[in-house]
Structure 1
Amino acid sequence: MAKGKLVGKKLILLGERDGIPGPVMEACLKDSGADIVFSVTECFV
């Protein structure tokens, strides 16, 4: 059972193409207990 500050929270993940992509953040946070409602990787130029 996950415990922590993110349990029950809804997350929107904005990844960056040359930084940390959205799917990588999603993979890292999947066991946090948070509900990932949106995850995307964008190019901010």
Structure 2
Amino acid sequence: MGKLAGKKLILLGERDGVPAPAMEACFKNSGAEVIFSVTECFV
């Protein structure tokens, strides 16, 4: 188990940077639970 095991995550992705689905894929095996994930355009 990692440091994020049992934690809840809120992921804010950026359209021209790292999108939220990519972050979700990275955290998938961390033991953390993604409770909210969204990709926005910050201009």
TM-score range, shorter chain: over 0.9
Give the gaps of 5 or more residues in structure 2: none
Number of the residue aligned with 2:20: 22
Q: TM-score, normalised by structure 1?
A: 0.92
1:36 lines up with 2:34 in the alignment: yes
Matches of 1:25 and 1:18, distance apart in 2: 14
Alpha-carbon RMSD across the aligned residues, in angstroms, is 0.4
